Amino acid sequence: MKKCLLLSFFVIISIKTFCWGFYGHQKINYFAVYLLPPEMMVLFKPHIQFLTDHAVDPDKRRYAVAAEAPKHYIDIDFYGSYPYPDLPRKYDDAVKKYTEDTVVANGIVPWWIQIMQQRLTAAFKEKNQAKILRLSAEIGHYIADSHVPLHASSNHDGQHTNQKGIHGFWESRVPELLAEKEFDFMIGKAAYIDNIGKYVWERVLESGAASDTVLKGEAALTKQFPEDRKFAFEERNGKIIRQYSSDFTAAYNKLLNGMVERRMRLSISSIANFWYTAWVNAGQPDLKNLHTTAFSAEDLKEFEAMNDAWKNSASKGRAHE
Ligand SMILES: [Zn+2]
């Protein structure tokens, strides 16, 4: 039984790849803080490092908890074709129609974000600082994932079209190479979201619709680049590794007409909108006067356990190294 559980755990983490990369997720949560009103800034700005560092906790948790993975994506094409009229937007209705196993197996990100939003709103109501920060960091991750086109496609790593590696290429390689130099992260202010469910589904449907462009663009460009120009041995994190060449990456970004930057910017404003909406719906509590300002022993233990799981299983399931 134990062996079986262990096996299914590794299968899950090896077939699903990573989201925005650590670099992208951390940047996204970081910039979201600057969109908040002053009443929220008093809490979020002093803790910007925590919100940045912990933007990647949900990915780390995937090494420890098998049930974590489906919270990061939805294989929306399983449910027909755009705009997926057959797929009920409410979780219970979707389960009734397809069974829970099927719904979970195809990913639950649009529903999971809504659960996280309820929890964050409750944390603001409780005026519980530790919970507010932890949940804000984590919901930021799931929201950002829902903006990634390949997180809304069953062909999530180009495995059906001989394009393996495209997942990390789009969400890690492109931003890591170009975000600092070319992307603009000056974005307006957080806005209140009237209907969270509707907002989430709109973003997910946009992602699903864009996944075709993501895949077809890479395939078209590959025809123009001989293998030795498509890939190159370049330095990454102090190591020389074979990866998509800078030329190919820049050409792809141009071909997509700034899509990666647009989705990254939208992720940032969406996160700020969710944080702001949770705070408003909780009655705009005074964030200068919170209790539970320190993390509990349980929180600290969980942070550590996630880190350990992530580090210790590095050689077994990391798809984007
Ligand atoms: Zn993720």
Q: What is the DSSP string of 198-240?
A: HHHHHHHHHHHHHHHHHHHHHHHHHHHS-HHHHEEEEEETTEE
Task: Output the CA 128–ligand 1 centroid distance in Å.
Answer: 25
Mean pLDDT of the chain: 90
pLDDT at 57 over 60: yes
Does the pLDDT of residue 300 top 50, yes or no?
yes
- Residue 315's pLDDT is what? 31
How many domains are there within the chain? 1
In angstroms, what is the span from residue 320 Cα to ligand 1's centroid? 13
Average pLDDT estimate for 255-268 = 96
CB count within 10 Å of CB 289 equals 8
18-54 pLDDT, tens digit per residue, is 567 888 999 999 999 999 999 999 999 999 999 999 9
Cα(145) to ligand 1 centroid in Å equals 6
Per-residue three-class SS string for 11-32:
HHHHHCCCCCHHHHHHHHHHHH
Q: How far apart are the CA of 223 and the centre of ligand 1, in A?
A: 30
Q: Summarize the confidence of residues 169-185 as an average pLDDT.
A: 91
Residue range 130-172, pLDDT digits in tens: 999 999 999 999 999 999 999 999 999 999 999 999 999 999 9
Average pLDDT in the 71-89 region?
96
Domain coverage including residue 310 = 2-317
- Would you place residue 189 in the very low, low, confident or very high pLDDT band (cuts 50, 70, 90)? very high
User: Would you state the pLDDT for residue 316?
Assistant: 32
Q: Is 177 in contact with 248 (CB distance < 8 Å)?
A: no
Q: What is the pLDDT, as a whole number, of residue 64? A: 84
Ligand 1 mean position to 138 CA, how many Å? 10
The alpha carbon of 72 and the centre of ligand 1 are apart by a number of angstroms equal to 5
Q: Which string of b and e fits 223-246 if b means at least 16 CB within 10 Å?
A: eebeeeebeeeeeeeeeeeebbbe
Task: Please name the residues in contact with 4: beta carbons below 8 A apart, sequence gap of 6 or more.
Answer: none
Per the CB < 8 A criterion, the answer to whether 303 and 145 are in contact is no
CA R_g for the chain: 19
Element (H, E) at 3: helix 2-15
Whether the pLDDT of residue 77 is over 80: the answer is yes
Instruction: Reduce the DSSP state of residue 100 to 3 states and report it.
Output: helix
Given a cut of 90, whether residue 63 has pLDDT beyond it is no
Residue 260 is predicted with a pLDDT of 94
What's residue 19's pLDDT?
Answer: 60
In the prediction, which pLDDT does 321 show?
25
Q: Is the pLDDT of residue 210 over 80?
A: yes
pLDDT at 318: 27
Alpha carbon of 276 to ligand 1 centroid (Å): 22
| pLDDT of amino acid 240 | 87
| CATH number of the domain residue 143 falls in | 1.10.575.10
135 Cα–ligand 1 center, Å: 15
